[in-house]
Amino acid sequence: MELNFYLILALLLFTIGVIGVLTRRNAIVVFMCIELMLNSVNLVFVSFSSFLGNLNGQIFVFFIMTVAAAEAAVGLAIIIALYRNKSTINLDEINILKW
């Protein structure tokens, strides 16, 4: 039963992340929410690793953290480039991807 608490926490974190991604307008906040979702997944990995007594999950988490670091750098760079071009990071105003 111990596992369920971790999983529910991960679920809550993930859902908060999703809602944040869908509703917030500030690109930075959206970005942070994506990180939140990523880390909730990490939590699931770690939980199952501990629950099953298998180290694979924890190894995965290390990989994910490394990739996430690189991804954070790329994501922040995109936001900076966006700001330089559009003078805004409000996602409502960045709507050229349409018909």
Partner 1 sequence: MVDYFYLITVLPLVGFLINGLFGAKIKNEKVSGIIGSLMVLGSFIITVMAYLHITSLPENSRTITIPLFNWITTGSLNISAAYLVDPLSVTMCLIITGVGFLIHIYSIGYMHGDKGFARFFAFLNLFLFAMLNLVLGDNMLLMFLGWEGVGLCSYLLIGFFYEKKFAGDAANKAFWVNRIGDFGFMIAMFFIFTSFGTLNFLGINTAIATAAVPVSMFTIITLMLFVGATGKSAQIPLYVWLPDAMAGPTPVSALIHAATMVTAGVYMIGRTSLLFAHAPITMEVVMIIGCLTAFMAATIAVAQNDIKKILAYSTVSQLGFMFMAMGAGAFSTGIFHVTTHAFFKALMFLGAGAVIHGMHDEQDVTKMGGLKNKMKITFLTFLMGGIAISGIPPFSGFFSKDEILAKLFFGGHYAVFGIAVLTAFMTAFYVWRLISLTFYGKPRYDESHVHPHESPALMTVPLIILAILSVVGGFIGIPHIIGPNLIEHWLEPVFAPALAILPEHHVVVSTEIGLIVTSVLVAVIAIIISLKMFKSGERLDAFSGGFYNLLRDKYRVDELYNKIIIAPLMWLTEIFYKILDVKIIDGAVNGTAKFFNSLSLDWRKLQTGIIQDYAVFSVAGIVAILLYILLR
Q: Which of 9, 18, 64, 79 binds partner 1 (CB under 8 A)?
A: 18
Instruction: Please tell me the distance from the alpha carbon of residue 8 to that of residue 40, in angstroms, as a whole number.
Output: 10
Residue with tokens 């970005």: 31
Residue with tokens 């330089």: 84
Q: Which of 1, 70, 87, 95 binds partner 1 (CB under 8 A)?
A: 95
Note whether 16 binds partner 1 by CB under 8 A: no
**What track of x and - describes contact with partner 1 for positions 20 through 59 (by CB under 8 A)?**
-xxx------x-----------------------------
Instruction: Please tell me the distance from the alpha carbon of residue 62 to that of residue 53, in angstroms, as a whole number.
Output: 17
